[in-house]
Structure 1
Amino acid sequence: MRTVTNYFLVNLAFAEAAMSAFNTVINFTYAVHNEWYFGLTYCRFHNFFPIAAIFASIYSMTAIALDRYMAIIRPLQQRLSSTETRLVVLVIWMLALLLAFPQYHFSSTASLPGRTVCYIDWPEYSGVDFRKVYYVCVTVLIYFLPLCIMGCAYTIVGVTLWASEIPGDSSQRYKEQLIAKRKVVKMMIVVVCTFAICWLPYHVYFLLHQFFPDLFEQRYIQQVYLAIMWLAMSSTMYNPIIYYCLNSRFRAGFQQVFCCCASTVGKEELELKSPRYLQTQMSIFRASRLEAAVSTSVPPPAAEIKTV
């Protein structure tokens, strides 16, 4: 399971699990009660971490898309090693923290009559509305740009994989590899589409809020925001379900961990589908063929030759 794709999937899972743990309930509580109970330090973290986590999530998906593109469209080019993959993950998080830093730096709390609020005190430089510029940049960098990159990559990969028919005289191993590649690409396309659908209303909401603030004086706008925010936060729970439904190796792993009655079956399926097992079987197959070839080419000993 330690492949380049799975390294990025682990990073994706970590980012989404962390956002679920540290932000989802706090954000929902603040939206419902409209009062901040958690102090200045957590106010800064609360505004800072979601941007970083979303950036890490979407660019992990982008890295997977580019890795699939290189593996399928340019198979002869050298793939990323495990060390290089970890370095890419580290760069993704550094850029994510850098992009989210303004939200940390300008976050503050204020005591209003009867309640405390957590907000971002955006500055203005030479009449430039820094808040609008920042939100437009964030939306482009963590939504539209990576989705465009992934859309182009998966379109090319999909056309290449599904347009090429499996030759009738091809080996069984070639057919299995092509089918496996199609399944992985199909799974990642579903993951990306789920992310795009869940986060699109959220980004549209904040862009409209920056440029048309009068629209947000309506009576039920708070309920609309809660629904949009809940949809966006729910994106962190769909990926394990998608992995389970569309990937047999993840399904076997989940069964091994969570189902005591199916632990033996899950372990056997994982072992049967592991690269080490396949390499062992190929080695045994080659050795048996070599032994058969030697036995047919070497004449039997003199003692075993029967005279007529």
Structure 2
Amino acid sequence: MSVNTASPPGTTVAVPPTGDLPERGRRRRKRRWAAWLFLLPWLVGLFGITLGPMIASLYLSFTDYNLLGRLSFVGFDNYVRMFTDDPRFLSACLVTLKYVLVSVPLQLTFALALATLLNRGLRGLAFYRSVYYLPSLLGSSVAIALLWRQIFGGSGLVNTALGALGMTDLPNWIATPEWALGTLIVLNVWTFGSPMIIFLAGLRQVPQELYDAASVDGANAWGRFRRITMPMLTPVIFFNLVLQMINAFQAFTQSYIISGGSGGPVDSTLFYTLYLYQKAFTDFDMGYASAMAWFLLVVIGLFTGAAFFTSRYWVHYDGE
């Protein structure tokens, strides 16, 4: 150990032996390589599974590519054709927009109502919470979509129950254009478990003192819910809204199974993702399907951005 004589009078600075510096550098480089080694699986997934295919898809959206060897650059022709020469594209956009705007608010309303009920301290809360969460795990599965097709079929459970009540001339719900999309909306509302659990966690964070003070001031149950619960839950509502909205825009399995992959009847259940699938893997028009995928990404980004922009007017955080 040596002493740095250039230091101010009365102070000594310990200087490590010069032989320790290269050893420290080697140890630091080893730690750096170990960090990159642990990051390697994530980097492979990012560039090989996510970022790489996205860049390839963006390029293909400007081409005429059919998976069979034809590949030619066409510029913005795919995007122009979507809006000027493809009525089914516009129909798929309209069906998906209806599905999102109706099913998501209904799902969140139902989830919040049930979470409020469960928050009253019911006996066996863990059991009810698990049972109500189960549909969220199964709602987008093939098995549940097949079951839904049987329930709303011409001789399904719904018509059997309504027939027992004396109703006649009941439709085949999934084969009637006026009702087919409604059955898919009901299926999405039925998968309320995930937002319900999040709402329940948010309700547990509302201070009981606020309710006690409101009761002393004479507020009834509805007043406490409107003046305390809802403002305190707005961050949770916002989170659930964005999450469920993005999921609804990407809905695919329900429409594919219930309509047999056609989007029928009369394109009444032709979700955007189902039409994209048809163009890609039925018509082998990969360039057009890639353009549709990027348009969907832009639409989801715009709706999400609008949600974040408007949140400043109705979402209240602690301390505000």
Normalising by the residue count of structure 2, what TM-score does the alignment of the two structures yield?
0.28
The structure whose residues are more often helix, as a share, is 1
Which protein, 1 or 2, shows the higher relative CO under an 8 Å CA cutoff with sep ≥ 6?
2
Which structure has the larger Rg?
2
